[in-house]
Amino acid sequence: MRRMIEHVDEEYIVSIASRLVRINSENPPGREAEVASFLAERLSELGLKAKVDAFDRRANCIASTKDFERAGLLLLTHLDTVPAGEREAWSIPPFGGIIRDGRLYGRGAADAKGCIASMLGALKALADSGVEFGGEGLVLAAVADEEMGSQGVRRLISRGFRADYAVVGEPTGLRVCVAHKGRLVTTVKFTGRYAHSSRPELGINALYAASEFALEIEEYSKRIKGKDHPLLGPPAISATMFKAGEKDNMVPGWAEVVVDYRALPGERLETILDEFKHIAGKVDRGRGTRHETIVLRWVPPSEVDPGSRIVEVAAEAVRRVLNHEPEISGFQATCDMSYLVNDAGVPSIILGPGDLEQAHMADEWVSIAELVAAAKIYALIIHGILCAS
Ligand SMILES: [Zn+2]
């Protein structure tokens, strides 16, 4: 039986991946409706119950072998892509779905339409082999808005969806990722006092305070290299944006710095913010400014116990398909696994064809061989979790 479910249909997988790339689902603006309907039709053809869950001009596509609200195994991935950006940067059309030299090119080929196609390839192989899904069944959810605010997965979870295990489809180069970094985006705003720039001694220059703060963040970025996660390495911090001043002859009364922090599992929002406030407070005391910190975005990090069944089953699947010891690894970016683990308590891994380095750039591509291998791996994971007793 196992050998049969590894008979994936390469032509089908490549055709689905190429057709998915040809449907533009750039986010922003967030246009998932068309690709969601296309996918729901394909999933129905494979014998699953499939629906498009439309909300606020966005759409999730959800398919199930049993219930929509509960699953023994969830395959989660996303419909949206980052924008293609400047067309001149591309040497091939971003929405052409072009296949050349063993690669599929186009926006979303790696992140994450290749994952969707491989998941469908796995479901087709299982359907073709006539395997029966046991237990709580399978749900495939291809959700909206992973690249911006993760509205899609948050909607799924807030409506009560639960699963025993999940595989999150993101480009990991077929590595089994059991942890990912979190992301905090904060604005730190300094308030000083305006003055005419002919009399700067009457003002408090907030731009100087914010500059000092930005340089202190650079120093802090060196100190945090001491923290270390076995799979993810140290956290990362950068000052990424700076705003100050209204007129060229005024001492600026305010200035703000945006800080982007990539957090390790175990790091808490409050603790990270405390450190920023400590650094900003020192600047205030030296310069007479006041500061406030505004959290723009917080996606908590997450990790799963490497001894969890989902990790064992995935590792065994990778070993069987790739014929070498699986690499258990960490995912440097944030992804929707955060919400599954932190908000719904679902033990999850991240695994998919393509590499993060190929994503989010011009001439994005994914290797056809990896699409095919991923489909076999997904099929074995589904079989291992749901069908093997
Ligand atoms: Zn992605």
Tell me, in angstroms, the distance from the centre of ligand 1 to residue 301's CA.
15
Report yes or no: 147 and 81 within 8 Å, Cβ to Cβ: yes
Q: How far apart are CA 124 and CA 189, in angstroms?
A: 53
Please give the pLDDT value at position 387. Answer: 86
Tell me, in angstroms, the distance from the centre of ligand 1 to residue 112's CA.
5
The pair of three-digit structure tokens given for residue 282, joined into one six-digit string:
């020192």
Question: Binning pLDDT at 50, 70 and 90, where does residue 244 land?
Answer: very high
Which segments of the chain belong to CATH 3.40.630.10?
A: 2-180+301-387
Range scoring the smallest mean pLDDT among 280-289, 363-372, 380-389: 380-389
Q: Pick from 33, 57, 71: which is nearest to 156 by CA?
A: 71
Tell me, in angstroms, the distance from the centre of ligand 1 to residue 113's CA.
9
Q: How far apart are CA 19 and CA 30, in angstroms?
A: 18
Tell me, in angstroms, the distance from the centre of ligand 1 to residue 154's CA.
15
Q: Is the pLDDT of residue 1 over 80?
A: no
As a whole number, mean pLDDT of residues 68-87 equals 96
Tell me, in angstroms, the distance from the centre of ligand 1 to residue 364's CA.
13
Tell me, in angstroms, the distance from the centre of ligand 1 to residue 352's CA.
10
Average pLDDT, the chain: 96
Report yes or no: 166 and 340 within 8 Å, Cβ to Cβ: yes
What number of residues does the chain have? Answer: 389
As a whole number, mean pLDDT of residues 311-336 equals 96
Q: Is the pLDDT of residue 6 over 90?
A: no
Q: Where does 182-299 sit in CATH, by number?
A: 3.30.70.360
Please give the pLDDT value at position 2. Answer: 66
Report yes or no: 179 and 229 within 8 Å, Cβ to Cβ: yes
Q: Pick from 279, 269, 206, 204: which is nearest to 239 by CA?
A: 279
In DSSP terms, which residues pair with 236 in a beta bridge?
Answer: 262
Radius of gyration, CA atoms only, the chain: 24
Please give the pLDDT value at position 132. Answer: 83
Taking domain 2-180+301-387, whether its CATH number is 3.40.630.10 is answered by yes
Tell me, in angstroms, the distance from the centre of ligand 1 to residue 303's CA.
17
Please give the pLDDT value at position 3. Answer: 67
Report yes or no: 43 and 64 within 8 Å, Cβ to Cβ: no
User: What would the pLDDT profile of 189-217 be if each residue is shown by its tens digit?
Assistant: 999 999 999 999 999 999 999 999 999 99
DSSP string across 223-252? HGGG--BTTTBS-EEEEEEEEE-S-TTEE-
Tell me, in angstroms, the distance from the centre of ligand 1 to residue 259's CA.
22
Terminal CA-CA length for the chain: 14
Tell me, in angstroms, the distance from the centre of ligand 1 to residue 358's CA.
11
- Global confidence as pTM: 0.92
Tell me, in angstroms, the distance from the centre of ligand 1 to residue 219's CA.
31
Which segments of the chain belong to CATH 3.30.70.360?
A: 182-299
Tell me, in angstroms, the distance from the centre of ligand 1 to residue 27's CA.
11
User: What would the pLDDT profile of 44-69 be if each residue is shown by its tens digit?
Assistant: 999 999 999 999 999 999 999 999 99
